[in-house]
Amino acid sequence: MSMGSNREEMGIIAASLRQHVQRGEKAGIRFLSRAESGGDKLEDVAELAPGEGIEGNLFSDYASAYRSKTLEELRAAIGDCHRCKLWSGRTHLVFGVGNPKAKVMFVGEGPGRDEDIQGEPFVGRAGRLLTDIITKGMGLRREDVYIANVIKCRPPDNRNPESDEIESCEPFLVKQIELIRPRVIVALGKFAVQTLLKSKVPIMRLRGSWHVYRGTKLMPTLHPAYLLRNPGDKKLVWEDIKKVLQELRSPSD
């Protein structure tokens, strides 16, 4: 095995161990410092290579999820998830719903009260408006598209998800997108857009223009819940959706 391969493998293992330590610390488990143990700190080992992630890692909570070949396998791999603190307040984990081969995938922030109760994304007032956008605006059926959220459990009082919650849950969304392979992702609202694009640019500057997420075209637009409070901005969403329809009608590469 080459020196480069050794360094890369060590970096991946170190990244996984570092995440394991961080999870343990959040759970109140204390790990020995370098001085106490007489060994190298995890950070020292991690510097051997950049470590791009935990995909397929032997030590990872996500190994079975990354190996999933279908959405059903992915849902089973997630299980009765306790990977972040949101599990304790949920009624149902809200995985996603729709066509596993959808050309269009809608991604929102996270479940609200109605979604938590029913276990399905976008079923409340905002969900009914999204359904109208899909059926009346796009001429599709709700079951023709796929709908999911960045996080799968409802935050208390519908607050914004916190960074550790995103870190715990986003790998599942990444895998959903990989399995579905949509032609277009429509990101709904500031939080979903900024999370997917890793950007702090305001939603009003991002919406209406094409972006790319892991090789897939992404259209940022306003969240249906925002439109319920600001119905005058529905015209902006219609402009965005028309661009999505135009993309879907154009020949694929």
Show me where the domains of the chain are located.
Answer: 3-46, 83-249
Query: Is pLDDT larger for residue 22 or for residue 82?
Result: 82
Backbone φ and ψ of 188, nearest 5°: -105, 105
Residue pLDDT, tens place only, 49-59: 222 344 544 44
Average pLDDT of every residue of the chain: 83
Residue 91: HSE in the Cβ half-sphere, 13 Å Cα cutoff: 10
Residues 109 and 191 sit within 8 Å (Cβ to Cβ): yes
The neighbouring-strand residues paired with 213 are 216
Query: Is pLDDT larger for residue 15 or for residue 234?
Result: 234
* pLDDT at residue 111 tops 50: yes
- The class that CATH gives domain 83-249 is alpha beta
pLDDT of residue 231: 97
pLDDT classification of 253: cutoffs 50, 70, 90: low
Residue pLDDT, tens place only, 222-247: 999 999 999 999 999 999 999 999 99
Cα of 37 vs its chain's centroid, Å? 37
Token pair of 167 as six digits = 């870190």
pLDDT of residue 61: 74
Query: Is pLDDT larger for residue 12 or for residue 234?
Result: 234
